[in-house]
Structure 1
Amino acid sequence: MEKHSLFAVILIALAIAFSLFGDQALYAVLPTSFEKLGLLPIHVGILLSANRWIRLLTNIFAHKLFHRLPSVVLLYMALGLGTLVTFSYGIFTSFFMLFTARLLWGFCWSLLRHVGVMTASSVSTKENTGRVMGVYSGVVRLGFIGGSFLGALLYDASGFSRAFLILAGFSLSGIPLASFSGIRGIGGSSSAIPRPADNSTSTMGFMSENIHNSGSASDPGRFVPLLICTLAVGFTGSGLVMSTLGFVLKNRFGETVTVFHLMVGIASINGLILSLRHIIGTLGSPLLGHISDILGHGKVVFLCFLLAALSVAMMAAPMHILLFSALILFFYICTNTIAIILEARAGKTGSRMYSFFASALDLGAATGPLVGWIILDISPFTGLPFIIGALLLTAGSFFSVRIFKQQSQGADAA
C-alpha cells in the first residue's frame, strides 16, 4: 500500500472527525442544559436517539447513493450538510427544529461512515486490512473526544448557542481537509483514491468480486452471524453500558467519591471514563488492528467476545470504583477490537453488506439505552443490565466462530 493512500485515508478520517464535533457536544451538553432551552426530559431522550433510529433507513439509502453518485460528491455533501446541522444547534432551540436537525445528522453520518469505510477498505490489502481500518477508526475517534471535551468547555465559557456556532466552524474545516486527500469519484462507487497496483490481493479486488454477490438471495443467511455479532457489540457497548454507566456510578458510589485523597464529582468520573474509552480507541486502534492481522481475525474476535463478557459480568458485583473503572476500560478495549475487525470484514464483502453492518450497529446502539433504562426502572439490582450484556456477548462469541469458519471455507473453495 502506498504511503499516499494511507495519508489520504487519514485526511478523510480527520474531516469526518471534525464533522462529529457538534453531535458529540450535544451528548455532553444537552442533558445539563435542556431546561434552559425550554425542553422536557423526554425531549432529551428523543433528540439523543433520533439520529440513530433514522440511520436504520438512511444506511440503506447511503448504499444506493454510493452506487449512483461519485464518492467525492457524497463526501462533500455530507460534510456541508453536517456543518449546517451543527450551526442550527446554535440558532434554534425549539424541539421541532432540533429534532429535524438530528434526523438530518443521522443521514449525514450514514453517508460519512459509508464513504469513509469504503475508501479505507479500497486501499487496504489482505495483509494490512486491520492496520488500515485501525488507523481510520482511530482518527475518526478524535471527533468523539474533541466534541465532548471542547463542546463542554465552550458551553461553560460562552453558553449553548455560541459554543455550537464555534463548533460549526470546526466542522466546516473538514471540507478543505477532504479536498487535500485527493479523493475522487468516477462512475458511482468507483475507487475514491489511488489503490495498490496488486489488484489480486487488494481489498477493492475482493470487493469487486463480491459486491454483486452480496445482494444474492442466499446472502442474508450467510451473513446473519456477522450481523448478530455486530448487533451484540452495538447493543452492549454503545447502548447498554454507555447509557446506564452514569446512573450506576451514582447509585453505587454517591454524588462524590474520594480518589487518591481527592474529592471528585461522580459526573466527572463518568465523563472521564467515557472520554478514556475514545482515547484508548484512538491510540490503540492501529495497534489492535495490526495484532489481529498477525494472530488471525477469527481467534482475536472470539477471545475478545469472551473477555468482554467476563469483564462486564464482573462489573455487576460490588467493588472499589478504581477496579470498576478499570474493568469498564478493559471491556471497551475488547469491544473496540471486535468492532474494528467486523467493520473490516463487512467492508471487504462490499457496499451492500456494509450498509447492513452499519444498520445492525445502529439498531443495537439505539435499543441498548431503552432496554437498559427499562431494566433499571423495574429492578433494584443495578448490575442486571451488565449480566444481560454478558450473556449477549457470550452468544456473540459462538456466532463469531461461524463468521470466520465461513471465510475459511470460502478461501479453501477458491
Structure 2
Amino acid sequence: MADSSSESTARPVVYAVVASTFFVGFGGGVVFPILPNLGEVLGISAFLVGVILSANRWTRLVANGPAGVLVDRIGTRKPFVVGLAIEGLATFGYVVAIESAMPEVWFILARIMWGIGSSLVFATAYTITADVSEATTRGTSMGIVRAGITFGFPAGMVLGGIVSELRGNVTAFVLAASFAALASVIAFFIVPETHVESADSSIKPWDLETTLPALTVGLVNFGLYFAYIGVLFSTLVLYLEVKTLTLSLEFAGYGIDYGEQGTSGLLMAVSALSGAVFTVSGGKISDAVGARMPVLLAFLATSCAGFVVLTVAPSFGAVVLACGLIGAGQGGVGGPLTALLADLTPEDRMGRAMGTNNIFGDVGGGLGPLISLPFANTVGFDVLYALSAVVPLVAGVVLVAGIYSYTARLSPTVEESVV
C-alpha cells in the first residue's frame, strides 16, 4: 500500500480519480434521456429497452468479483486505466449502434463493454481512495470520489437530452466518447499505484467478501440502486410524457421548449447534482460526528420523502423537488456507506469488498428497468413510485440490524468500527 499518512499526498490522487470518473461518467448518463424515446423510433420494445439499459449491470454481476480480486492481486493503477479505456470504446459503440441496421444488438454489446469497464473503474476508484485516506477523513474522501462519479452521470444526461435535441443523437454520443477518452488519458499520466500487490495471480469469480458488514452494506446498496437508477432514471422520461410535464424557458425574448428527452435529462441532472452535493457533505458530516449510522439513516429517510412527493406531485415544480430529494438521499448515503464498508474491512480485502458491494448495486440497478418499465405501463407510475418509497425504509432496517449484529452497537463510532 502507498504511504497514506499525509493528507497533502492523498489529495492530488483523490482529485485525479474524481476527474477521470467525472469525464467517463458522461457515457453512463447519455443513454437515459435518449434511449426510452428512441426505442419507439427504432422499433425496440419497452422490455428490450430495459434489457439494454440494464445490460451493463448484469455484466457487472459476473465482472465485479474478478475485478475486486484483480485489484487485491495486482494493484489499482492498471485496472483503473484499462477500465476507463474500455468505457470509452463502449461509448463510441453507441455511435455504431445508432447507424446500424441492428441497433439493439450493438447497443447491448456496447452496454456489456461498459459493464466490464465500469467494474474495473468502480472497484479501483474506491479502493484507491480507501488506500490513501485515514479513518477520520475517509468519509469526506469517499464522498468526493462518489461525487465525481455522480457529477459525470448528470452531465451525460444533460448532454444526451439537450444535445440530442439540438444536434442529434449521434453528436451526443460522439461528445460523450471524446470525454471518456480524455478520462483514460488523465488516469494514465496522474494516478499512481496505491494498493497491496500479491504474488498469487489466480482470479476466482466466487472469491468475494461475504462478511456480515459487506453483505449488509451490499443489501443497502441494492435497494438504493433499484429505486434510483432502476426505477426513477429508467421511467422518468415516460412519466413526463404521460403527465404532459415539460419545461419551457424564456430569456431575452427567446423561448425554448424542451421535449420529454430534454426535460428528463435536466431533471435527472438536478437529482444527480443534488446527490453529488450531499455525497460530499454526507461523508464530511459522518467524519465530523465520528459515526456513520445517524447520517445514513437521515438520508435514507430523505430518499423515501422524495418518492412520496413524486407520487403525489401535482406540478412540474413538485417533480423538481422530488428529484432533488431522491438525489440528496442517494448521494448522502453514498459517502458514509462506502466509508463504513472500508472501516469494517481489512485493507488487503478492500478490492473484494468493493466488488461484492458493486454486485449488489448492479443487481438492484439491473432488476429495476426490467421490472419498472413493464410495471409502469401496466399499473401506472403512481403505484410504482409509492412502492419505491418503501425501499429506503427497508434498507434502513437492514442496515441497523446488520451493523448491530456485527458490532453490538446501534451506532458505533468511527474508531470502534475501524478494523
TM-score, normalization by structure 1: 0.82
* Partner in structure 1 of residue 361 of structure 2: 361
Matched, 1:274 2:268: yes
Contact 1:22 1:151 in 2 (8 A): no
Superposed, which structure 2 residues align to 1:253-264 within 5 Å? 254=244, 256=246
Contact 1:317 1:383 in 2 (8 A): yes
- Among 312, 317, 328, the residue aligned to 1:317: 312
C-alpha distance in 2 between matches for 1:244 and 1:230: 20
Letter of the 1:249 counterpart: L
C-alpha distance in 1 between matches for 2:310 and 2:31: 28
For the residue of structure 1 that corresponds to 2:135, the secondary structure is coil
Report the Cα offset of residue 11 of structure 1. Answer: 1.0
Unaligned runs of 5+ in 1: 191-213
* Partner in structure 2 of residue 29 of structure 1: 34
Letter of the 1:399 counterpart: V
The alignment covers a number of residue pairs equal to: 387
Does 151-160 or 64-73 show the bigger shift?
Answer: 151-160
For the residue of structure 2 that corresponds to 1:400, the secondary structure is helix
* Partner in structure 1 of residue 204 of structure 2: none
Matched, 1:90 2:95: yes
* Partner in structure 1 of residue 158 of structure 2: 149
Contact 1:223 1:403 in 2 (8 A): no
For the residue of structure 1 that corresponds to 2:154, the secondary structure is helix
Describe the shift of the 1:79–1:226 C-alpha distance in structure 2 as closer, same or farther (beyond 3 A): closer
**Percent of residue pairs bearing the same amino acid type:** 20
* Partner in structure 1 of residue 148 of structure 2: 139
TM-score, normalization by structure 2: 0.81
C-alpha distance in 1 between matches for 2:418 and 2:125: 31
For the residue of structure 2 that corresponds to 1:28, the secondary structure is coil
* Partner in structure 2 of residue 202 of structure 1: none
Report the Cα offset of residue 142 of structure 1. Answer: 2.9
Describe the shift of the 1:36–1:367 C-alpha distance in structure 2 as closer, same or farther (beyond 3 A): closer
Describe the shift of the 1:277–1:255 C-alpha distance in structure 2 as closer, same or farther (beyond 3 A): closer
Matched, 1:81 2:86: yes
Contact 1:232 1:364 in 2 (8 A): yes
Superposed, which structure 2 residues align to 1:64-213 within 5 Å? 64-92=69-97, 93=100, 94=102, 95-156=104-165, 158-184=167-193, 188=197
Report the Cα offset of residue 37 of structure 1. Answer: 5.8
* Partner in structure 1 of residue 374 of structure 2: 374
Contact 2:22 2:148 in 1 (8 A): yes
Report the Cα offset of residue 68 of structure 1. Answer: 2.9
Describe the shift of the 1:27–1:324 C-alpha distance in structure 2 as closer, same or farther (beyond 3 A): closer
Contact 2:25 2:156 in 1 (8 A): yes
Report the Cα offset of residue 284 of structure 1. Answer: 3.6
Deviation readout 1:120-150 (Å, 9 max, x if unpaired): 1111111111110111111222321332223
Does 371-380 or 170-179 show the bigger shift?
Answer: 371-380
Query: What's the C-alpha RMSD, in Å, of the aligned pairs?
Result: 3.1
For the residue of structure 2 that corresponds to 1:26, the secondary structure is coil
Matched, 1:384 2:383: yes
Describe the shift of the 1:288–1:71 C-alpha distance in structure 2 as closer, same or farther (beyond 3 A): same
Report the Cα offset of residue 355 of structure 1. Answer: 1.3
Describe the shift of the 1:122–1:250 C-alpha distance in structure 2 as closer, same or farther (beyond 3 A): same
Contact 1:11 1:180 in 2 (8 A): no
Letter of the 2:155 counterpart: G
Letter of the 1:363 counterpart: V
C-alpha distance in 2 between matches for 1:412 and 1:240: 33
C-alpha distance in 2 between matches for 1:27 and 1:392: 22
Describe the shift of the 1:34–1:228 C-alpha distance in structure 2 as closer, same or farther (beyond 3 A): closer
Contact 1:231 1:364 in 2 (8 A): yes
C-alpha distance in 2 between matches for 1:329 and 1:125: 31
Matched, 1:335 2:330: yes
Unaligned runs of 5+ in 2: 1-5, 200-206
